[in-house]
Amino acid sequence: MTTTSADNGIPGSDPGNDGDWGWFSTTRRDPGSESPRTAGGGRGGHPGGVPPQQPQPRQPPQDGGAQQVRQTPPPPPRSAFEPVTAPPPTAHSAPPTADATLIRRTMEEIEPAADAVTSYFYAMLFVRHPYLRDLFPASMDSQRDRLFAALLTAARNVDNPAVLTEYLQGLGRGHRKYGTRPEHYPAVGECLISALTRYAHHSWSPQTEAAWVRAYTTISQIMIDAAADDEAHSPAWWHAEIVSHEKRTDDIAVITLRPDQPYPFLAGQYTSVETPWWPRVWRSYSLASAPRADGTLSLHVKAVPAGWVSGALVRRARPGDVVRLGPAAGSMTVDHRTDNGLLCLGGGTGIAPIKALVEDVAEHGRPRPVEVFYGARSDHDLYDLETMLKLEARHPWLSVRPVVADGCPVRASGLAGQLPDAVRGTGRWSAYDGYVSGPPGMIRSGVDALRGVGIPVNRIRHDSLDELVSQSTQD
């Protein structure tokens, strides 16, 4: 996975409706329960508010840091609906449903006016429901598109339930850290429909509106249910102290954290981070190790221009500082039920989750071949090569191949050129499972390269929703 970021708050009720959410108030009943709930307002259960003066969650601007999570190629502006990871899709060859066809026509029409539609959506949201403004960061410059984009991403995949459900469940769990409550969802839905009605002049009709209402009701209910289920056994966020901060280059730091309580995750997953310096701004970063006995975890963070969180973590954070962590997410994990080899492509700080996967294989004690292609722009950017070579020396089943775009690596025998091209030149790998972590463009080309060397798409793992959806419609 690469680390991406994405999250923010979700809005609430419309005061003008006196608590009646109109077409979002479809009554549903919880399994095993006698109490009904509304599709827009789901189970009770508070999602965990943000204590005053505490670091608060939400996603940042263009941080690229150690991140590489599920960036979505082409990366849609992230949203309050955190870009949580979706599972590897299955073949999706069924014709689109009538609702999906109507929804996609709307999206095609509003695409040229995307900025205006987004601005109108937020204007309606904050004018009609001013109390929801506190769920978002003080500056909306980077956040502006994220919530709306996540809504559209979910709606676009309304007829692909395998991908949609996993994506939305992750978002629902992740949104607890914003203080999002079930009663906030109807307000978002109302404003979404208002924005679409205003700008989809040609494609809008009563049938189209009904399709969007059904889609949003499904979307919101999946998220509400996931948050309620998660609340029963997990906090909304964790406080974590920085115990080590190591600068590897001018703009890359390896940061070790100690959460204040057990933090469950699997090797290959990512977390979201909020710093004390940018309340309600969250970024996602890959976890750079398998779970450790001492409970610590590590992140590889690269400061990028205009990256509020990544810049703060690399240049301002010090041991003793406390950040907040959202729940772990991501599907780029090892399937220990098989003995397939692993073919891993890690670009830049995308090497972080690849390192975690290697540790995970080692800890499970079942030798299986692991081939790592570690790509960077220059030899200097191979900031974690020594660590990877030490792992290679320790484990005979591991092979690490540095790939440098601008010349050959000088610290180890390696390859020159682009990472995907290097993989294509090494033969067939059909007996392996593929893993890709890096910037969005690298994920796209990396997936193509892995398919080209014989790995079926259902055995290629990464955390980029749009790529997963794209691939699922081609196979």
Mean pLDDT for the stretch of residues 198-221: 94
pLDDT at residue 43 in the model: 32
What does the buried/exposed string (b/e) look like for 438-468 if buried means 16 or more CB atoms within 10 Å of the residue's CB?
bbbebbbbbbebbbebebebebbbbbbbbbb
Does residue 159 share a domain with residue 138?
yes
Q: What is the CATH number of the domain that holds 287?
A: 2.40.30.10
pLDDT tens-place string over residues 322-336: 999 999 988 899 999
pLDDT tens-place string over residues 380-408: 899 999 999 999 999 999 999 999 988 77
Residues 6+ apart with CB under 8 A from 227: 45, 47, 172, 173, 175, 176, 180, 182
Please check whether residue 55 lies inside any domain of the structure. Answer: yes
270 contacts 285 by C-beta, under 8 angstroms: yes
Distance CA 108, CA 128 (A): 27
Please check whether residue 2 lies inside any domain of the structure. Answer: no
CA dihedral 240, 52, 147, 316 (to 10 degrees): -50
Does residue 305 share a domain with residue 367?
no
pLDDT tens-place string over residues 412-453: 667 888 888 899 988 889 999 999 999 888 888 999 999 999
pLDDT at residue 124 in the model: 93
More confident residue, 431 or 31: 431
Q: Quick check: 70 pLDDT over 60?
A: no
Mean pLDDT for the stretch of residues 13-38: 27
Does residue 292 share a domain with residue 437?
no
Mean pLDDT for the stretch of residues 235-243: 96
pLDDT at residue 4 in the model: 38
Does residue 273 share a domain with residue 155?
no
Report the share of the chain in percent with pLDDT over 90.
53
Q: Quick check: 34 pLDDT over 80?
A: no
pLDDT confidence bin for 144, thresholds 50/70/90? low
Distance CA 24, CA 89 (A): 29
Does residue 401 share a domain with residue 369?
yes
Domain boundary among 212, 231, 250: 231
Does residue 52 share a domain with residue 29?
yes
365 contacts 338 by C-beta, under 8 angstroms: no
pLDDT at residue 317 in the model: 98
pLDDT at residue 147 in the model: 67
Rg of the chain on CA atoms, in Å: 22
Q: How many domains does the chain have?
A: 3
Mean pLDDT for the stretch of residues 174-198: 92
Query: What letter would DSSP give residue 287?
Result: B
Mean pLDDT for the stretch of residues 227-237: 92
Name the H helices within 111-205: 114-128, 146-156, 161-174, 185-199
pLDDT at residue 333 in the model: 95
Tokens representing residue 15 in the block: 């005061």
Does residue 243 share a domain with residue 217?
no
Q: What is the CATH number of the domain that holds 40?
A: 1.10.490.10
Mean pLDDT for the stretch of residues 175-202: 92
pLDDT at residue 154 in the model: 81
pLDDT tens-place string over residues 43-52: 333 322 333 3
Please check whether residue 335 lies inside any domain of the structure. Answer: no
pLDDT confidence bin for 33, thresholds 50/70/90? very low
pLDDT at residue 167 in the model: 81
pLDDT confidence bin for 142, thresholds 50/70/90? low
pLDDT confidence bin for 470, thresholds 50/70/90? very low
Q: What is the CATH number of the domain that holds 468?
A: 3.40.50.80
pLDDT confidence bin for 136, thresholds 50/70/90? confident
pLDDT confidence bin for 254, thresholds 50/70/90? very high
Distance CA 256, CA 400 (A): 24
From 25-39, 143-157, 336-350, the region with the lowest mean pLDDT: 25-39
The CA-based angle 373-414-351, given to 5 degrees, is 30
Does residue 200 share a domain with residue 153?
yes
Mean pLDDT for the stretch of residues 145-158: 75
Does residue 123 share a domain with residue 208?
yes
Mean pLDDT for the stretch of residues 61-82: 34
- On average, the pLDDT of the chain sits at 78
pLDDT tens-place string over residues 285-302: 999 999 999 999 999 999
pLDDT at residue 463 in the model: 80
Mean pLDDT for the stretch of residues 233-251: 95
Please check whether residue 8 lies inside any domain of the structure. Answer: no
Does residue 135 share a domain with residue 88?
yes
Q: Quick check: 206 pLDDT over 50?
A: yes
Give the three-state DSSP class for 233: coil
CA dihedral 216, 217, 219, 225 (to 10 degrees): 160
Domain ranges, residue 444:
341-472
**pTM value surpassing 0.75:** no
pLDDT tens-place string over residues 90-107: 444 568 889 999 999 999
pLDDT at residue 281 in the model: 87
pLDDT confidence bin for 29, thresholds 50/70/90? very low
Does residue 254 share a domain with residue 206?
no
Please check whether residue 1 lies inside any domain of the structure. Answer: no
Please check whether residue 295 lies inside any domain of the structure. Answer: yes
From 148-157, 186-195, 333-342, 443-452, the region with the lowest mean pLDDT: 148-157
Domain boundary among 297, 325, 353: 325
Among candidate residues 130, 154, 153, 143, the one with its CA nearest the CA of residue 63:
143
pLDDT at residue 224 in the model: 95
Domain boundary among 325, 354, 369: 325
257 contacts 297 by C-beta, under 8 angstroms: yes
Among candidate residues 254, 459, 265, 234, the one with its CA nearest the CA of residue 360:
265
pLDDT tens-place string over residues 460-469: 999 864 443 3
Q: Quick check: 66 pLDDT over 60?
A: no
Please check whether residue 7 lies inside any domain of the structure. Answer: no
Instruction: Give me the DSSP letters along 75-92.
Output: -PPP-SS-----PPPPP-
Distance CA 137, CA 386 (A): 39
pLDDT at residue 349 in the model: 94
Please check whether residue 296 lies inside any domain of the structure. Answer: yes
Does residue 404 share a domain with residue 300?
no
61 contacts 144 by C-beta, under 8 angstroms: no
